[in-house]
Structure 1
Amino acid sequence: MAITSRVKTTKAKQSSLNSGKDIIKIAAIQMASGPHVSANLSEAERLIEVAANQGAKLVVLPEYFAIMGLKETDKVAAREEEGNGPIQDFLSKIAKKHKIWLIGGSVPLVSNFPNKVRNSCLVYDDKGKLAARYDKIHLFGLDLGNEHYHEEKTIESGNSIKVVDTPFGKIGLSICYDLRFPELYRAMGDVNIIVVPAAFTDTTGKAHWETLIRARAIENLSYVIAPAQGGYHLSGRETHGNSMIVDPWGVILDRLPRGSGVVLATMNPHYQASLRKSLPALQHRTISEKTDIK
């Protein structure tokens, strides 16, 4: 009962600050993508339009939104050169059409190896121009029962942290398995929004997804937009779904357990600023990479 009371109080506080021109709607798109790029782009377009029609100015798609292949190498066959290809053309066109900032959760781009891709998160501004690119740093590996995943076989990891300046504040970019590495988010600095497009397995998602998402929001006093794959895929894989948007206090503002759809919430920078003033944990950090460990 006490927890419920605190959540209601926090939501009420945020609601009381929900006025003014700085308040924006943000959206996470959930999909259950298949192996055909054109079909996935059609579904993404439909869902983005739903979000835009509800007033969303920042929309984030899940990891692998354009292709969840029958086998891991299918994404290699669909890879694109940066700045050229149907997936990137789609993102640019739709962002410009709806006058939104659009984040393509991940797009398979050419890597330094012929049998691998870069798993890249691409940010487009409201004019359809590419504003930022982040290549997934941490590659998922799992050997648990009958589930086996080894992303390093088909993905070349990135090596650069990426934060992009937007009209909504600083946005820190990450993808899926990155979520398990809090040092990545600390290194981003004081970002206003963290995005975590994902395709969490149902097994690991049930155990850790919500906990990790809320932890990243709380420890960084940041909004977290977490669009996910959610459902059964033709490859036999099952993804966890539960796309959500979480506020800087760790409150889940909206979520979608399964299937295709839109998660929508309001971002209030004044509320975020008031929390950071009341609990200046980001200013209290004393441990860094240069701190001596004895």
Structure 2
Amino acid sequence: MPTTQQLTAAAIQMVSGDDLSANLERARVLVAEAAAAGAALVVLPEYFYLMPEDERERVALARPPGEGPIFRCLAELAERHRLWLVGGTLPLASPEPGKMFNSSLLFGPDGRCHARYDKIHLFGFDNGHERYDEAATMSAGEQVTSGDTPWGPLRLSVCYDLRFPELYRQRPAPTLISAPAAFTHTTGEAHWELLLRARAVDNLAFVIGAGQGGVHPGGKRTFGHSLIVDPWGTVLARHEDGEGIALATLDLDRQAELRRRLPALQHRRLD
């Protein structure tokens, strides 16, 4: 009798502040809680390590891959708990002066970094009351990235990327999509769940959206509502406000059956 292929996944939601050590400690606690609940794949939010009033404080933390306390923390967590960990984002060194790459890394149970994705689409928004310009402190990535996991390809993405569906349509077709984010409350309330569910349906993939969810230094407010969505667009788990974990069991056999019943990925005509 065939065994059912399942995966327990967790989206961790944080309300990170401007104290690096405190944020890393909260990440350690929450990843341990997710592991204790059976999670084999854990996604941390964007900027889990620092949400300062001055964006340039993150640039000051940028290091080459493999160096610095943030990278070491993520590697140690993945190895200690024997799980796959999407390290939200961390700042990696850029050749452009005064800038960083906002990078999402996939760590395996061996503690090694198995994939690196530098955020391609840099957020800009100005409604007269709120203004964001990531290009002022970030260099844009150029490479669509998937990580090989025991459950299939995991497409790495970050926050604003969700508005660009072509990123997710590149081959190989992802089994899983990670979307660590720090959506503003304004844009998140309007579009966050809509975008996560659309990307799940587009790709008949599981989407794990791990967000920041609260008020941060300088009064910035993020939307939260971390979600895990199945390939049919159904929300399997949600954590609305504040710190916490959204945990769900993903039925990969059902995903395969949905892809057989609706072979939309095979019907693509445009690349």
Corresponding residue for residue 146 of structure 1: 129
The one-letter code sitting in structure 1 at the alignment partner of 2:113 is L
Corresponding residue for residue 74 of structure 2: 91
Corresponding residue for residue 127 of structure 1: 110
Give distance in 2, aligned partners of 1:157 and 1:110: 12
SS of the equivalent of 1:114 reads coil
Corresponding residue for residue 180 of structure 1: 163
The one-letter code sitting in structure 2 at the alignment partner of 1:29 is I
Unaligned runs of 5+ in 2: none
TM-score, structure 2 length as denominator? 0.98
1:76-99, CA deviations, whole angstroms, 9 ceiling, x for partnerless residues? 111121111100000011111100
Corresponding residue for residue 259 of structure 1: 242
1:235-274 alignment runs, 5 A limit: 235-274=218-257
Corresponding residue for residue 164 of structure 1: 147
Compute the displacement of 1:269 (Å).
1.2
Kindly indicate whether residue 214 of structure 2 is the aligned counterpart of residue 203 of structure 1: no
Give distance in 2, aligned partners of 1:111 and 1:21: 44
1:155-181, CA deviations, whole angstroms, 9 ceiling, x for partnerless residues? 000000001111121100000000000
| Greater radius of gyration (CA) | 1
Give distance in 1, aligned partners of 2:112 and 2:142: 23
Kindly indicate whether residue 22 of structure 2 is the aligned counterpart of residue 43 of structure 1: no
The one-letter code sitting in structure 1 at the alignment partner of 2:264 is A
Decide whether aligned partners of structure 1 residues 205 and 111 sit closer, same or farther in structure 2, where only a CA change above 3 A counts.
same
SS of the equivalent of 2:34 reads helix
TM-score, structure 1 length as denominator? 0.90
Identical-residue share of aligned pairs (%): 51
SS of the equivalent of 2:3 reads coil
SS of the equivalent of 1:105 reads coil
Which of 192, 195, 217 aligns to 1:212? It is 195
Kindly indicate whether residue 37 of structure 2 is the aligned counterpart of residue 54 of structure 1: yes
Which of 172, 192, 210 aligns to 1:227? It is 210
Give distance in 2, aligned partners of 1:188 and 1:126: 25
Give distance in 1, aligned partners of 2:30 and 2:107: 17
The one-letter code sitting in structure 2 at the alignment partner of 1:192 is T
The answer (yes or no) to whether the contact 2:100–2:137 under 8 Å persists in 1 is yes
SS of the equivalent of 1:123 reads strand
The answer (yes or no) to whether the contact 2:179–2:207 under 8 Å persists in 1 is yes
Unaligned runs of 5+ in 1: 1-18, 289-294
Corresponding residue for residue 291 of structure 1: none
Q: Which runs of 4+ in 1 moved over 3 A?
A: none
Which of 164, 176, 181 aligns to 1:193? It is 176
Compute the displacement of 1:22 (Å).
2.4
Give distance in 1, aligned partners of 2:95 and 2:212: 27
Compute the displacement of 1:114 (Å).
2.4
Compute the displacement of 1:234 (Å).
1.3
Give distance in 2, aligned partners of 1:163 and 1:242: 25
The one-letter code sitting in structure 1 at the alignment partner of 2:79 is K
The one-letter code sitting in structure 1 at the alignment partner of 2:90 is V
Compute the displacement of 1:24 (Å).
1.6
Corresponding residue for residue 24 of structure 1: 7
The answer (yes or no) to whether the contact 2:153–2:172 under 8 Å persists in 1 is no
The answer (yes or no) to whether the contact 1:91–1:104 under 8 Å persists in 2 is yes
1:60-79 alignment runs, 5 A limit: 60-79=43-62
The answer (yes or no) to whether the contact 2:4–2:251 under 8 Å persists in 1 is no
Compute the displacement of 1:21 (Å).
5.7
**CA RMSD between the two structures:** 1.0
Compute the displacement of 1:227 (Å).
0.2
SS of the equivalent of 2:200 reads helix
